[in-house]
Amino acid sequence: MIIGVGIDVAEIDRFAASMRRTPGMADRVFLERELLLPSGERRGYASLAARFAAKEAVAKALGAPGGLRWTDAEVYVEDSGQPRLRVRGTVAARAAELGVRSWHVSLSHDAGVASAMVIAEG
């Protein structure tokens, strides 16, 4: 049963400008492992913007309650390349309240825009 659906978009250049202008933003929004590719190199702004959009989409799928911590929703990639969500803390608590048992996430970026869609399933 679908409990919630969230979708979000982020303009990549605007997101990149925010990241450059606000040095602490990366640490407030992302876990260290989200900032890195499997090779250990730093992710590009397009990839990070898609992950940011996914975090916004998670909040929307949960009904956009206040008090969710950005780093309590982690976007990671399986060996197959499929993006996944790992939740903890404030996000896991809200998901448990709603009966969420699994997550589905899709990320994309093209033509200067990053997007994400998240489905919370119970």
Q: Which residues are annotated as a binding site for Mg(2+)?
A: 8, 56
**Buried b or exposed e, range 61-90, using 16+ CB within 10 angstroms:** bbeeeeebebbbbbbeeeeeeebebebeeb
Rounded CA separation 107/92 (Å): 21
Task: Give the residue from 52, 65, 70 showing the smallest Cα distance to 94.
Answer: 65
Rounded CA separation 17/11 (Å): 10
Instruction: Name 119's bridge partners.
Output: 5, 104
Detail the DSSP E strand segments found in the chain: 2-11, 73-77, 83-87, 102-110, 113-121
Binding positions: 8, 56
